[in-house]
Chains A and B, each alone.
With several copies, the nearest count.
Chain A
Amino acid sequence: MSAPFVPHTEEEIGEMLAFLGLSSLDELFSTVPAALRLAGGLDLPRQQSEADVVHRLEVLGTRNRPVGRSLVCFAGAGAYDHEVPAVVRSLASRSEFMTAYTPYQPEVSQGVLQAIFEYQTMVARLSGLEIANGSLYDGAASLVEGVNLAVAATGNSKILLSGGVNPRWRAVLSTFSKGSGHELISVPLTDGITDFNDAAATDSAQVGAVVIAFPNFLGCLEDVAAARSVADRTGARLVVCFDPVAAGLLKTPGSLGADVVVGEGQGLGTPLGYGGPYLGLFACHASDVRRLPGRLVGETVDIEDRRAYVATLRAREQDIRREKASSNVCTNQTLMAVTAAIQLGWLGTVGLREVALRSARAARYTREALTAIDGVEPAAGAPVLREFAVRLPVPAELAIDRLVEEGYLAGVAVREGYEGTDVEGTLLVAATERRTREEIDGFAASLEKVVR
Chain B
Amino acid sequence: MSAALPGGRALSAPLMGHETEPTLFELSVSGRRASSFRTSSLPEWSAEELVPAELLAASPVELPEVSERDLVAHFTRLSHRQYSVDLGAYPLGSCTMKYNPKVCDEAAAAAAFAHVHPAAPPSCTQGWLELLVELEEQLCAITGMSAATLQPAAGAAGELTGLLLMRRYHEARGETRTRVIIPGSAHGTNPASVTLGGYQVTTVGTNERGGVDLDSLRAALDDDVAGIMLTNPSTLGLFEEDIVEIAAAVHEVGGLLYYDGANLNAILGIVRPGDMGFDIVHLNLHKTFATPHGGGGPGAGPVAVSKHLVQYLPGPRPVRNSDGTFGWATPEHSIGRIHSWHGNALVLLRAWTYLRLHGADGLLAVAEIAVLNANWIKGQLRGTYDIPYDRPVMHECVVSAETLERETGLRALDVAKRLLELGFHSPTVYFPLIVHEALMIEPTETESPQTLAALADALLLIAREAQEAGEASAAKQAPRTTPVRRVDEARAARKLVATYDQRP
Contact = CB atoms under 8 A, between A and B. Distances in A.
Interface string A35-67: 111100111111111111111111111111111
Interface in A352-367: 352-355, 357-358, 360-362, 364-365
A186 interface: no
A310 B42 contact: no
A115 to B, nearest CB: 6
Contact of A65 (B16, B39, B116, B379): B116
A114 B78 contact: yes
A439 to B, nearest CB: 9
A275 to B, nearest CB: 3
Nearest to A357: B47
A200 interface: no
Interface stretch (B251-259, B303-311, B340-348, B402-410): B340-348
Contacts of B38: 49, 51-52, 55, 83, 433-434, 436
Given A91-B76, A301-B491, A63 B126 contact: yes
A346 B103 CA distance: 13
B219 interface: no
B208 interface: no
Contacts of B295: 97-98, 100-103, 109, 112, 115-116, 334-335, 338
B231 to A, nearest CB: 13
Given A6-B446, A51-B36, A247-B61, A360 B50 contact: yes
B357 A53 contact: yes
B269 to A, nearest CB: 5
Interface string B262-284: 00000111111001100000001
B141 A44 contact: yes
A79 B200 CA distance: 37
A79 B375 CA distance: 47
B322 interface: no
A95 B67 CA distance: 18
Contacts of A211: none
Which of A95, A104, A440 has the largest count of B CB atoms less than 10 A from its CB? Answer: A95
Interface stretch (A14-22, A387-395, A443-451): A14-22
6 A-B pairs closest in CB distance: A275-B341, A111-B82, A61-B112, A275-B118, A335-B294, A334-B296
A298 B488 CA distance: 11
B321 interface: no
A409 B392 CA distance: 57
Nearest to B347: A277
Given A50-B357, A172-B336, 8 more contacts: A7-B7, A47-B359, A61-B112, A121-B23, A132-B498, A276-B344, A298-B492, A325-B195
A347 B68 CA distance: 10
Interface string A199-223: 0000000000000000000000100
26 contacts: A3-B363, A13-B372, A66-B113, A83-B35, A87-B71, A94-B76, A96-B79, A97-B84, A98-B84, A100-B82, A100-B293, A110-B21, A120-B498, A168-B340, A249-B51, A274-B118, A277-B344, A278-B344, A300-B492, A309-B487, A312-B493, A318-B189, A335-B296, A335-B298, A336-B298, A345-B63
A89 B154 contact: no
Given A6-B369, A64-B128, A331-B154, A348 B64 contact: yes
B218 interface: no
Interface stretch (B161-169, B457-465, B467-475): B161-169
Contact of B488 (A4, A77, A87, A303): A303
A144 to B, nearest CB: 9
Contact of B35 (A10, A166, A347): A347
B388 interface: no
A432 to B, nearest CB: 10
Interface string B479-504: 10011111111011101111111110
A435 interface: yes
A44 B115 contact: no
Contacts of A66: 111-116
B303 to A, nearest CB: 13
A15 B31 CA distance: 15
A380 interface: no
A17 B489 CA distance: 42
B497 A298 contact: yes
Contacts of A155: none
Contacts of B42: 358, 361-362, 365, 436-437, 440
Which of B238, B244, B362 has the largest count of A CB atoms less than 10 A from its CB? Answer: B362
A58 B290 CA distance: 21
Contacts of A397: 121
Contact of B86 (A99, A295, A320): A99
Contacts of B45: 360-361, 364
Contacts of A315: 493
Contacts of B362: 2-4, 46-47
Given A31-B241, A101-B295, A111 B356 contact: no
A393 B273 CA distance: 52
Contacts of A318: 156, 188-189, 191-192
B359 A48 contact: yes
B103 A296 contact: no
B116 to A, nearest CB: 5
A403 B399 CA distance: 62
Interface in B145-169: 153-157, 159-160, 163-164, 167-168
A96 B446 CA distance: 18
Which of B124, B125, B153 has the largest count of A CB atoms less than 10 A from its CB? Answer: B153
Given A50-B103, A110-B81, A112-B296, A140 B339 contact: yes
Which of A4, A59, A350, A404 has the largest count of B CB atoms less than 10 A from its CB? Answer: A4
A121 B500 contact: yes
Contacts of A433: 37-38
Which of A8, A309, A329, A335 has the largest count of B CB atoms less than 10 A from its CB? Answer: A8
